[in-house]
Amino acid sequence: MTTQNTFHKDTWELYKGLEMSKQLTSGKTLAALADEYPEVVAMSADLSKPTGLWPFAKEYPERFFNFGLAEKNMVTAAAGLASTGKIPFVSTYASFLGVLAAENIRTAVAYPNLNVRLIGTHTGIAMGFYGTSHHATEDISITRAMANMTVISPADGVALAEMIEESVRTYDGPIYFRVSRGREEPVYTESKEVQNKIGKANILRDGSDLTIIACGIEVLQALRAADQLSEAGIETRVIDMHTIKPMDVEAVLNAAEETGAVLTVEEHNIQGGLGSAVAEVLMESNVSCKFKRHGFYDENSLIGKPYHLYKHYKLDAEGIASVAKEFLNK
């Protein structure tokens, strides 16, 4: 079996423009790898279209399994397949995967350290009017507390594609991928060609006054906020911390030392999420800096259109910029 990495150079052709969305990435990426890796299989809980697995299901129906509305059973079955040498990719809404099926993930997947790839989609408040039961603002804290579990929150579809490929070719152990709806504008376009590697943060913008460490869809908003802050004379470093566990400790400590102020931004409860992970790194080091976590402040999210919710919680570019200014002025 060859392990030569030939997929990355074709990524831009596969995911041009808004087709880089997460909605298309999972299934297309797996289909591109399927012939080379016959052990790859995919599983869904009646949501192959909204989670993006349908291209794989269409091309490889004998390797695709639909479990209906039985997410916990799906996770346990994936563990069984992984124990026989398969690499199952399990995908459903994050509220039904990282939250509802947490016990099955911990006991059947993480505890035996199996090669199961869990893709929780529609994370944070992306489900809008579907309500708090469908919002996933606790899944980072839940999964990163599990021994053996790798936790990844890609910024866009290109990043997800690259790390899915890496997970098949070279990575061992369970992974929880946290992605949104797939309708977001891309971060990693041809003009910003940075390869995403598991465990290695990407510095997308340099600055000396402040560092914003973000993950998932907040990366793009952090970049836009940095542009606004620059107009106010605040030069901001932006780090895409796509891998929350294991974290790129060096990137965090360098940022703290070189800019003196760190703001984390996440579409997640600040209790136990990205901000808590960064805080743990800082507290266990000898580096001193100003620090603040920004996300949901230990509350259940409201119900409404996602656009309005992001604005309300100051998770859009304008909101992040205002939070950053207030933070620096204290």
The pLDDT of residue 89: 97
Question: Do 223 and 302 reside in the same domain of the chain?
Answer: yes
Domain that holds residue 91: 8-178
Question: Do 31 and 143 reside in the same domain of the chain?
Answer: yes
Question: Do 26 and 162 reside in the same domain of the chain?
Answer: yes
What six digits make up the tokens of 102?
């947490």
Question: Do 157 and 105 reside in the same domain of the chain?
Answer: yes
- The owner of tokens 């994936």 is 78
> What is the full per-residue pLDDT of the chain (330 aa) written as tens digits?
333 333 344 433 433 333 444 445 788 899 999 999 999 999 999 888 888 888 898 999 999 999 998 999 999 999 999 999 999 999 999 999 999 999 999 999 999 999 999 999 999 898 888 888 889 999 999 999 999 999 999 999 889 999 999 999 999 999 999 998 777 788 997 545 678 999 999 999 999 999 999 999 999 999 999 999 999 999 999 999 999 999 999 999 999 999 999 999 999 999 999 999 999 999 999 899 999 999 999 998 899 988 899 999 999 999 999 999 999 998
Residue 173 lies in a domain: yes
CATH number where 256 lies: 3.40.50.920
Question: Do 30 and 170 reside in the same domain of the chain?
Answer: yes
pTM above 0.85? yes
How confident is the model over 202-258, as pLDDT tens digits?
Answer: 999 999 999 999 999 999 999 999 999 999 999 999 999 999 999 999 999 999 999
Residue 3 lies in a domain: no
Q: Residue 290: helix, strand or coil by DSSP?
A: strand
Residue 205 lies in a domain: yes
Question: Do 228 and 163 reside in the same domain of the chain?
Answer: no
Residue 304 dihedral angles phi and psi, to the nearest 5°: 170, -175
Question: Do 163 and 267 reside in the same domain of the chain?
Answer: no
Question: Do 86 and 213 reside in the same domain of the chain?
Answer: no
- The H or E element spanning position 118 is strand 117-121
CATH number where 66 lies: 3.40.50.970
Residue 186 lies in a domain: no
Question: Do 245 and 307 reside in the same domain of the chain?
Answer: yes
Count of domains for the chain: 2
The pLDDT of residue 40: 97
Work out the number of other CB atoms within 10 angstroms of the CB of residue 147.
Answer: 8
The pLDDT of residue 190: 52
| 3-class SS letters over 208-272 | CCEEEEECCCHHHHHHHHHHHHHHCCCCEEEEECCEEECCCHHHHHHHHHHHCEEEEEEEEECCC
Residue 228 lies in a domain: yes
Contact indicator for 242, 214 with CB cutoff of 8 Å = no
Question: Do 54 and 138 reside in the same domain of the chain?
Answer: yes
Cα–Cα distance between 55 and 302 in angstroms, integer? Answer: 34
Residue 191 lies in a domain: no
The pLDDT of residue 25: 73
Question: Do 171 and 205 reside in the same domain of the chain?
Answer: no
Residue 297 lies in a domain: yes
Residue 188 lies in a domain: no
Question: Do 51 and 174 reside in the same domain of the chain?
Answer: yes
Distances (CA, A) of 295 to 87, 224, 273, 301: 33, 17, 9, 11
Cα–Cα distance between 236 and 316 in angstroms, integer? Answer: 16
